[in-house]
A and B are shown apart, each in its own frame.
Chain A
Amino acid sequence: MQYSEEGKDRRITQLRKGILELAVMGALYDQRHYGYSLVRALSENGSISLKEGTIYPILARLDRDGLVRSGWVESDQGPPRKYYALTSSGRQLFDELSHEFDLLVSLVQHKWKAAEQPEEAGKKLLVRKA
């Protein structure tokens, strides 16, 4: 049976959203950014192709949880920009999450085929008789 494109897209979006928060924290680990510069930094260093606007709810969540500090800075070239930087607790959390993420990546990339059970054993479970 073939998977649906819609289902695939939905899952990819979910996957990206989950990872994006971690990526945002990583980008803000050593450097402060405003929204647009953060999007540029993420798109230059990876291939996460989410809509740019989705970055702001993430930043707002991080801000609310005290993981980033933020402040408006006047700009000579246009409207003021809101800069974000990771707080010390944000850095600490990022280190832990990053470690968890590494574990998950290694789990996903594990060579599962080598550990697969014989096909016959699986088939037996599916046969049911009245």
Chain B
Amino acid sequence: MNNYPDVVSKLADDYLRRVKLQLGQLPAPEQIEFLREIESHLYDAYQQMPGEDEVTRMLAVLRNFGEPIEVVQDRLPGAMLRSGTKRYLPLYIVGGIVIALFGIPLGFGGMAVLAGILITLAAMVAVFYAIGGIVFLTGALFMLLGFARTYAPAFWDRMVTLGFIRLDGPVGDFLDQLPAPEQGLIMIVIAALIVVGGLGMLWAGRYLIRGLRFLFSLAFDRVRQFAQRIRRNTHPDKARPLVAVMPAMARK
């Protein structure tokens, strides 16, 4: 456990991150081992470094330790050689051929399918919102007409005369039997239901988006797990515990 002040901890973490970047060619277990060792060294050196200012002390420690490239440059060539020999090279060659022959075309096809699914789902969401909006606006307009029928019958009659409003069929026949205020009331009630339906669709839209997001994250998780399983099967050494404490060496 490190007991650095925050700012010093950031300096150390940043340095370790830079070292890690340089270790790209090294097998992952060796990277972790190497970084842990450096971390331990930095901690000891920091504790022993004299001075009042914590940042200055850590900077001096890092300066003494050397630039990341200096620290790793002697380590890489051997690791690069091992990365080609220690692993299952024939499997890699076969894998390379398979990827070259099938993976790239299938990859493009897969990308196209994925893009198609994404576009389709995005379109579905857009259409859903559009329908919700249209329903809401229709209800609102119908409500305005209901108010017009109730409170401005002259305006309503003029609109009917000009042909802007036509209520034919059974609905028209039914409304014709009622007085104007009741016609207006029925229209307002129906319009209110339509408005509520539209608002409900717009409100439910966010759940639709959440649901789709959940489906996507579930799918990506499954893909990631599948990739990790393959990786574990191809590199069994990566599952090995890294810390092998040797009690025989501990002199207390």
Q: Which residues of A contact B (CB under 8 A)?
A: 17, 32, 34-37, 39, 51-54, 56-58, 60-61, 64, 69-75, 77-83, 85
* Bound-complex Cα distance A72 to B70 (A): 24
User: Are B41 and A35 in contact, with the CB atoms below 8 A?
Assistant: yes
Given known pairs A52-B64, A57-B74, A72-B244, the reply for A79 and B249 (CB within 8 Å) is no
Name the residue on A nearest B68 (C-beta). Answer: A53
* Bound-complex Cα distance A71 to B248 (A): 9
* Bound-complex Cα distance A73 to B40 (A): 11
User: Are A78 and B40 in contact, with the CB atoms below 8 A?
Assistant: yes
Residue in contact with A58 in the complex, picked from B2, B30, B74, B246, CB distance below 8 Å: B74
Q: List 30 A-B contacts (CB under 8 A).
A: A34-B40, A34-B44, A35-B40, A36-B41, A36-B45, A36-B48, A39-B41, A51-B70, A52-B45, A52-B64, A52-B66, A54-B74, A56-B38, A56-B41, A57-B74, A57-B75, A61-B78, A64-B78, A71-B244, A73-B246, A73-B250, A77-B47, A78-B2, A78-B44, A78-B47, A79-B1, A79-B2, A79-B40, A81-B40, A81-B44
Q: Which residues of B contact A (CB under 8 A)?
A: 1-3, 30, 33-34, 36-41, 43-45, 47-48, 64-67, 70-75, 78, 243-246, 248-251
A17 contact set on B, CB distance < 8 A: 74
* Bound-complex Cα distance A51 to B39 (A): 16
Output the least CB separation between A4 and chain B (Å).
21
Prevailing SS type, chain A contact patch: mixed
A57 contact set on B, CB distance < 8 A: 71-75
User: Are A72 and B243 in contact, with the CB atoms below 8 A?
Assistant: yes
Residue in contact with A53 in the complex, picked from B2, B39, B40, B65, CB distance below 8 Å: B65
User: Are B245 and A72 in contact, with the CB atoms below 8 A?
Assistant: yes
User: Are A80 and B249 in contact, with the CB atoms below 8 A?
Assistant: no
User: Are A74 and B245 in contact, with the CB atoms below 8 A?
Assistant: yes
* Bound-complex Cα distance A128 to B40 (A): 63
User: Are A71 and B71 in contact, with the CB atoms below 8 A?
Assistant: no
Given known pairs A58-B74, A72-B246, A78-B3, the reply for A52 and B41 (CB within 8 Å) is yes
A70 contact set on B, CB distance < 8 A: 246
User: Are B45 and A78 in contact, with the CB atoms below 8 A?
Assistant: no
Name the residue on B nearest A60 (C-beta). Answer: B75
* Bound-complex Cα distance A85 to B244 (A): 15
* Bound-complex Cα distance A60 to B108 (A): 43
A58 contact set on B, CB distance < 8 A: 74
Output the least CB separation between B225 and chain A (Å).
30
Output the least CB separation between B27 and chain A (Å).
12
Output the least CB separation between A117 and chain B (Å).
40
A85 contact set on B, CB distance < 8 A: 249
User: Are B66 and A54 in contact, with the CB atoms below 8 A?
Assistant: yes
User: Are B71 and A56 in contact, with the CB atoms below 8 A?
Assistant: yes
